[in-house]
Amino acid sequence: MKHVCSQMKTIGKPITPDKLAEELWFDVMEDYKFMTNLNWLKNVFLGLKIGGIWGYPEHQRIFKRVDDTHFIEVTMNNEA
């Protein structure tokens, strides 16, 4: 796993689970569905260790937990 993580590069700035949920679902879901997904994402975040990754296949995006409050988007570095 260490080898795979070393091949990832970050995209953008760190983002909280709340802001990420807004980015992913706020404009496309009814309020109650958004709140359900927000709570689910917070639980995913809490279940990850720092350095742990979570993939969102429907949008082909990968996020890594970088500290106690933030994800950051990552991508595979094809040049590694």
For residue 46, the 8-state DSSP code is H
Flag whether pLDDT at 2 surpasses 80.
no
- Which residues touch 54 (CB under 8 Å, ≥6 apart)? 44, 45, 48, 62, 63, 64, 65, 71
Tens digits of residue pLDDT in 43-75: 999 999 999 999 999 889 999 999 999 999 999
| Structural domains in the chain (count) | 1
**pTM for the model:** 0.80
Residue-level pLDDT at 31: 93
| Structural domain that includes position 38 | 2-76
Considering only residues 31 and 79, tell me which one the structure prediction assigns the higher pLDDT: 31
Residue-level pLDDT at 5: 53
